[in-house]
Structure 1
Amino acid sequence: SLKSESLEDASGLLKAEMRGLGSVILERAEANRVPAGSALAVDRERFAAAVTEGITGHPRIQVIRDEVPELPAERPIIVATGPLTSDRLSSDLAQRFAASLGSPGTRPAGLGAALGTPSPTPSPQPPAPRWLYFYDAISPIVSADSIDGTITFAAARYGKGGAAARYGKGGADYLNCPMTRDEYLAFREALLKGERYPLHEFEEPKYFEGCLPVEGLAQRGEDALRFGPMRPVGLADPRTGKRPYAVVQLRQENRGPDGRPTMYNLVGFQTRLRRGDQLKALHLIPGLQTAEILRYGSVHRNTFITAPLLLRDTLQFHGDPAVFFAGQLTGVEGYLESAATGLLAGINAVRLTREQDPCSLPPTTMLGALLRYLTQADPATFQPINANFGLLPPLARIVRDRRERNLLLVDRALADFRAWQQNPE
């Protein structure tokens, strides 16, 4: 499935923009669709064959079926290798990234560490910056306006904003969801009973401690969570003046033009639970009883770069503007999002050959908002993202009704997209 076509959904808006850009992938998808209500679902084999035929049958495309151990010398070039990025190409990219950032090291921490490989013994020295990752450890993201502010509270641990801690700093950028013992035990029980996504053969369940699924941590004992990501030390619930039994922390994921966040990340809550069970467990958290999940949590094998350090919003590599990155490798999540970045990278590569400046899209469009996230997110906490309305700048006026608000965001996005098409830059 390539998700919903309805303009009430973020994926529908992204499709509308991709059609406006002349997406060949969507053309092939629509030609091979199968009934799926409002979703664009395709016959997988026919769709794959149609895309392959379009490439191999094109008179100006030469297909070379071989490993690419390093970036070729030809320019411009688009790197869209995603999870198929080999060890040799990964090493070549890491060296280029290190040179671009002026770092003395050329091998980032964890470069060879894929999901299923035990983590090395920690070094007492600070870890080298990571530019290239081989696994995802993603926590759920919730919509800011779906959080119950009468229950959550912003507070620093011990009244300070800078006390470093493993699972979050407890500063002003964090919201705290306080739990009683009964609420904590019910939440832990939901994690333990939840059904998990199965792993593929190459994804053995050996996790780095830093990306241990929250349900795995819950299995370690009744108190493991509240001594880890849910520890309440240094915090007091303003409703009672006492320290909660446990706390779930929410970290700002972005800032709108008015400085207010539209998305919050559940700190340390990466998970392999199926989506329905994630939603059930999350709705047991005080303050999140009716929270809207914008991105579900996951832990799976992947390859992606730290785009905020490395890419422009045109998908050009800072270290070599004639090199573009696209697809899953950039840090987008999903077939549709990967195709959208590939579409823009292709357009910009052509513009470069025509001696035109590469272009980006307004941040009020869904593709433009994705690009803004890729290039402006905090590199220290950067994780792959899918299209969602929380990425878009808020409206000038507050609209409480979610459906009405989303439709207004879509209207603004399409109007700005059409205006941009008249003079893309």
Structure 2
Amino acid sequence: AAGARLLARQWVPAEPAGRTELPGRTAVLAAPGTEAPAARLAAALPGAEVLTPDRLAADLADPRTAWDRFDAVVDLAGCAGADTPPERDALLTWLRWTQRVVDHARPELRCLLVSRGPGAGGAARAGLYRMLQSEYRHVRSRHVDLGRDASDEEVCRRSADELGVDAEHAEIAYRDGVRHRAELRELPSGPSDAPRFPAGHVLWVTGGTRGLGLLTARHFVARHGVRKLVLTGREPLPPRAEWAAHIAAGTALGRKLRPLAELVEQGVELEVLAVPLEDRAALAGALADVRRKLGPAGGVIHSAGFTDFGNPAFVRKPEADMARVLGPKIFGLDALVECFRDEPLSLFVLYSSVAAAVPALAVGQSDYAMANAYLDAVAEARPYGLPLVSVEWPSWKDTGMGEARSAAYQASGLDTLSDEQGLALLERALASGARVVLPALPRP
């Protein structure tokens, strides 16, 4: 597409322009493994209190909890080890606690997530800390990455410094002691290194029975010669012998089955599975079955996901709805990484969202921004050396959730993508060598 660009996060030096007084009462959230720096930070701040996950749960259970007792939160979950994956119950408890603090906060609440590098323990929380201030005017929120080698002393010193910074930058990183802010910049054009899908291997596509997942699967068949395909979806489909009858009847199910039947007619060896991605044992069993039938996996496209448009306000989102949005992209990705870590993959593509990169576009979609920011963080970290690439898609107008028409999206300067434009940008993104990339088509 003419004018289309690939953008990626770059770090620009950004010394604080102004400072303000430290808050009077600070909650220091200690995740397992961060107790020592949490105690050290609490001792250095006025009126600070260390809250463990058990304390968060106790606050939620106590009807007498004073939810307005803090004017700052410093979350050290990102300082836990990089090999500490998010734990579902703890994540949801933290979310419910944070909802109440934000809902009852004093006129200015400062919220800070402090991390030691991408993919660290706080990766599942980063998206929320980056976008909260865009949704709530009384909140100043920020994610600060100190790098993998930051000592406990540096964690405490930088955290206290950042609490006193009067600035709206939502994403900060320290590199060689210099403070930087995140900025989206165009990737320089370079030699193309387009992926080559290994002949005889299997392409797995999660969320592959509809929408962008199915569109991508058909593209890989046509463009990359994929002949063995696994599409996973939420709902079980009828046996293949019944597909023709459903298609002939012209029902909604028949319309869903038609493109799948067309893949079979093209000679593709197709498996369609309803496997819960968050169930690691079930996923591992499905992978073993497919390996016996079709051979090893050569690639994964992780496009499964949910959105919740019914409850836009973060403080009003029901826990069950947030869990539904977070599940496929956070816990589903963790299961995929563990199950496919020893497969001979030539590509492992994660379908993220522009909402993870542009906080203003995450307003009303806090849980979705969290989920996609996690995809980005895991792609940056590349556990086990997997060839992970996270693509932060803007709106598609032909396929997927439909054309974005919000005022915030209009103001972003981004145009919506046609299927043709999106697939062309996918090819460019995969050839770019970037781990996290935002394909952008500027609005004319």
TM-score w.r.t. length of structure 1: 0.29
More relative contact order, 1 or 2 (CA 8 Å, 6+ apart) = 1
